[in-house]
């Protein structure tokens, strides 16, 4: 018998019941909840007279709508405020664990899950949010669901699922200096395309992935959905176990050691068959910048805006033309000549302490360029913010003319007050460059924290090592 | 849930690949705590020339005459023809609610993003996957004869064009049954309550750390 993939193992351990056609009732260990995709689910529960099956599986937090400054004044937008208050009411009514807006532990749901040890290796983790794939970095099976499924998990602790196909994305070799987890995942999406992972669960492997920190692996898994895969995951190793040790919701003492023994089996067997294998040479990956309106529209920082007239597929060429029009870019322009108006460092992709350290290292002792109207840093959680301040990173950013904000999703999707104005161009460490994502008419370039910081200093895209002074 | 058996209606061609759920329903409308009322803001950025907020009166906003769903007879369409990877990006079920509220009963495309595909079934909106050439053929027919009514038959798993071809589509048997009968997913699952409890009891013995708060 051939070996099992990590995905096979996680899947098999959670099957409660299986129909003849292979549809399985899958048990969910951890259910993360935020204010945007849950109100209708709680309402459905109430209307049917149901209560949560296992309330202690839930961790709820407001993140999408929360303001990132002057939090003492509350939420100014009444519609946003109602949504957050609705979550507060629901967690209170059903007795669910909740970090309110002013709690130090509040933050982006995908940052606080691992930070609290609410996400553990070997778990199934769901949330009404597509970036739930982030949690796969800990060797968990984690994926985003819609609101009907949020209600279903609340009511039954389970989901009906068909098993996905398995894909191994193997990145072998050493990354060049200055190339980060964000560049790796953007390069992967550029290679397989935004639909390349449709129908697959992706395991990221190879020496370059093993070489990443757990936070770096989270950045990679976070964007699995941008390649079309609901779930991304990385095998457990000693880094994973050390990351989890001592987290507030992690097991302690002998139970931790027992758990760790079980977590060490969460790797794909050497002879495990994958439905598809994609290999990338780590040494060939350059810092990446997106130029268009889909995350697959990326090029190397040293490259140029591509030319649709050279594309042979007509649907694709038309998509490129639309993207260039929207982005206000000419084919052939060197990426390093593109000048952003704003810089956003944050989001569930890149708002953890290592991201902030990487950005601060570029900014230290320098100033924001004149043409940058706003450079904002939004930590992923109150605890990340606290840690950054203990290290003096807030001073580094403030001294350089950046804004230092309170934690939340912020300008990744602009549901709160942080947004681009029509036509504004942004260097952003977030995950989506869709039309209007960061504000109607806004133009997004996806980059790593180091590249975003360098763009803020130079006023255009540039390799951090090329900065003067 | 609203059942789906057979539906015949005007099909609108939305000729772009990778239509994401941010485009189907922009974020400012996700602040609603209801499931209804999203139809007037479906494809908001493409449909209107003026920006909109949740409290904007959509009737006074200028429509973009170039957008297909503003052009009769497509403004009355109940079937959406789309390109590959339709519904990618955010998991927001509001995208399905917006299409449903607009009046769509089915979306035909060569491929769908996984979460959108799942969400559709939960709301009685049928996502139909056809081969790329078949979708191309439908685009051509609908463009040549605007107002052409297409029939989507879940019972026999066929898309029919009057006086034209008939295309078979696949849909997994469990989903098909639930949709044909309009079954309540949660009630069905709760029939397995004892099995779920037995699973939990076993896991509490084997791996208790997974079931801690």
CB-CB: which of B17, B91, B174 is closest to A129? Answer: B91
Do residues A349 and A182 touch, judged by C-beta distance below 8 A?
Answer: yes
Global confidence as pTM: 0.97
Q: Is residue B58 a part of any domain in this protein? A: no
Between A and B, how many CB-CB pairs are < 8 A? 197
Q: Distance between CA atoms of B37 and B79, rounded to whole angstroms?
A: 19
Q: Distance between CA atoms of B125 and B3, rounded to whole angstroms?
A: 9
> In this model, does residue B204 exceed pLDDT 70?
yes
Regarding whether B152 and B113 lie in a shared domain, the answer is yes
> In this model, does residue B88 exceed pLDDT 90?
yes
- B18 and A294 within 8 Å at the Cβ level: the answer is yes
Regarding whether B119 and B206 lie in a shared domain, the answer is no
Bin A259: left if φ > 0, else alpha if -120 < ψ < 50, else beta: alpha
For the segment B141-186, what is each residue's pLDDT rounded down to a tens digit? 999 999 999 999 999 999 999 999 999 999 999 899 999 999 889 9
Regarding whether A13 and A151 lie in a shared domain, the answer is yes
Mutation to test the A interface, candidates B38, B202, B209, most A Cβ within 10 Å: B209
Q: What secondary structure, in 3-state letters, does A189-220 show? A: HHHHCCCCCCCEEEEEECHHHHCCCHHHHHHH
Do residues B101 and B34 touch, judged by C-beta distance below 8 A?
Answer: no
Chain B neighbors of A36, CB-CB under 8 A: 30-31, 92
- A148 and B54 within 8 Å at the Cβ level: the answer is no
DSSP state of A460: S
Regarding whether A54 and A88 lie in a shared domain, the answer is yes
Give the number of domains in chain B.
2
Tell whether A250 is within 8 A of chain B (Cβ).
Answer: yes
Q: Distance between CA atoms of A348 and A107, rounded to whole angstroms?
A: 10
Q: What is the pLDDT of residue B184?
A: 86
- B186 and A262 within 8 Å at the Cβ level: the answer is no
Q: Distance between CA atoms of A144 and B117, rounded to whole angstroms?
A: 13
ipTM of the complex: 0.96
CA of B197, closest CA in chain A: separation in Å? Answer: 9
Q: Is residue B54 a part of any domain in this protein? A: no
- Which residues form the domain of B152? 6-20+72-182
Regarding whether A422 and A296 lie in a shared domain, the answer is yes
For the segment A330-386, what is each residue's pLDDT rounded down to a tens digit? 999 999 999 999 999 999 999 999 999 999 999 999 999 999 999 999 999 999 999
> In this model, does residue A468 exceed pLDDT 90?
no
Share of residues in chain A with pLDDT > 70 (%)? 100
Do residues B164 and B150 touch, judged by C-beta distance below 8 A?
Answer: no
CA of A429, closest CA in chain B: separation in Å? Answer: 16
Do residues A406 and A66 touch, judged by C-beta distance below 8 A?
Answer: yes
Regarding whether A341 and A275 lie in a shared domain, the answer is no
Which B residues, 65 through 94, put their C-beta within 8 Å of a C-beta on chain A?
83-85, 88-94
For the segment B66-87, what is each residue's pLDDT rounded down to a tens digit? 999 999 999 999 999 999 999 9
Chain A neighbors of B83, CB-CB under 8 A: 315
Query: At residue B149, what are phi and psi to the nearest 5 degrees?
Result: -95, 130
Q: Which residue of A has its CA nearest to B115?
A: A145
CA of B173, closest CA in chain A: separation in Å? Answer: 7
Bridge partners of B20?
A: B88
> In this model, does residue A77 exceed pLDDT 80?
yes
Angle between helices A78-94 and A39-47 (to 10 degrees): 50
Regarding whether B139 and B207 lie in a shared domain, the answer is no
Q: What residue has token string 């994609």? A: A278
Q: Distance between CA atoms of B106 and B118, rounded to whole angstroms?
A: 13
- Which residues form the domain of A211? 165-236+268-284
Q: Which residue of B has its CA nearest to A294?
A: B18
């Amino acid at each position: 018998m051939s070996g099992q993939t990590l995905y096979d193992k996680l899947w098999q351990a959670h099957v409660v019941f299986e129909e003849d056609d292979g549809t399985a009732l899958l048990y969910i260990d951890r259910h993360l909840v935020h204010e945007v995709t849950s109100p209708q689910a709680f309402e459905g529960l109430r209307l049917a007279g149901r209560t949560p099956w296992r309330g202690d599986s839930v961790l709820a937090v407001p993140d999408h709508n929360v303001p990132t400054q002057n939090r003492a004044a509350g939420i100014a937008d009444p519609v946003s405020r109602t949504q957050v208050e609705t979550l507060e009411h629901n967690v209170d009514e059903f007795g669910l664990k909740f970090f309110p807006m002013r709690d130090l532990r509040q933050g982006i749901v995908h940052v606080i899950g691992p930070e609290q040890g609410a996400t553990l290796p070997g778990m199934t983790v769901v949330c009404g949010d597509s970036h739930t794939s982030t949690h796969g970095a800990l060797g968990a099976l984690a994926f985003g669901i819609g609101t009907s499924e949020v209600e279903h998990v609340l009511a039954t602790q389970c989901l009906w699922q068909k098993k996905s196909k398995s894909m191994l994305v193997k990145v072998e070799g050493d990354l060049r200096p200055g190339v980060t987890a964000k560049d790796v995942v953007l390069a992967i999406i550029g290679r397989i395309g935004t639909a390349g992972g449709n129908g697959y669960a992706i395991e990221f492997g190879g020496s370059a992935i093993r070489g990443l920190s757990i936070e770096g692996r989270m950045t990679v898994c976070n964007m699995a959905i941008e390649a079309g895969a609901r779930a991304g995951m990385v095998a457990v190793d000693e880094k994973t176990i050390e990351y989890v040790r001592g987290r507030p919701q992690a097991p302690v003492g002998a139970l931790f050691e027992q758990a760790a023994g079980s977590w060490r089996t969460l790797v794909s067997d050497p002879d495990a068959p994958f439905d598809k294998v994609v290999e990338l040479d780590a040494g060939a990956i350059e810092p990446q910048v997106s130029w268009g309106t889909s995350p697959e529209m990326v090029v190397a920082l040293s490259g140029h805006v591509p030319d649709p007239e050279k594309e042979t597929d007509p649907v694709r060429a038309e998509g490129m033309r639309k993207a260039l029009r929207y982005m206000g870019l000419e084919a052939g322009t060197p990426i390093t000549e593109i000048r952003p108006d704003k810089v956003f460092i944050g989001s569930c992709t890149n708002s953890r302490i290592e991201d902030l350290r990487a950005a601060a290292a570029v900014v230290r002792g320098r100033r924001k360029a004149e043409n940058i109207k706003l450079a904002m840093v939004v930590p992923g959680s109150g605890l990340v913010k606290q840690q950054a301040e203990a290290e003096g990173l807030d001073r580094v950013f403030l001294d350089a003319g950046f804004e230092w904000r309170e934690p939340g999703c912020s300008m990744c999707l602009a549901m709160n007050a942080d947004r681009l104005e029509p036509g504004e161009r942004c260097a952003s460490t977030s995950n989506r460059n869709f039309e209007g994502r960061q504000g109607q008419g806004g133009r997004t370039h996806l980059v790593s924290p180091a590249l975003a910081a360098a763009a803020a200093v130079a006023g255009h895209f540039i390799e951090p090592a090329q900065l003067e002074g | 849930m609203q059942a789906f058996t057979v539906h015949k209606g005007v099909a609108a061609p939305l000729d772009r690949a990778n239509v994401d759920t941010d485009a189907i329903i922009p974020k400012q409308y996700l602040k609603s705590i209801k499931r209804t009322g999203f139809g007037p803001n479906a494809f908001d950025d493409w449909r209107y020339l003026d920006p909109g907020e949740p409290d904007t009166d959509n009737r006074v906003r200028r429509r973009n005459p170039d957008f297909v769903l503003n052009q009769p007879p497509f403004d009355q369409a109940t079937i959406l023809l789309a390109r590959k990877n339709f519904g990618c990006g955010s998991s927001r079920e509001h995208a399905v609610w917006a299409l449903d509220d607009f009046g769509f009963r089915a979306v035909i495309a060569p491929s769908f993003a996984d979460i959108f595909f799942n969400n559709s079934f939960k709301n009685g909106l049928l996502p139909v996957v056809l081969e790329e050439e078949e979708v191309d053929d439908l685009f051509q027919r609908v463009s040549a004869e605007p107002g052409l009514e297409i029939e989507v038959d879940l019972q026999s798993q066929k898309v029919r064009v009057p006086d034209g071809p008939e295309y078979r589509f696949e849909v997994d048997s469990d989903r098909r049954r639930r949709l044909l009968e309009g079954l309540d997913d949660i009630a069905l699952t709760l029939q397995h309550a004892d099995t779920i409890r037995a699973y939990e009891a076993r896991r509490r013995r084997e791996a208790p750390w997974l079931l801690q708060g």
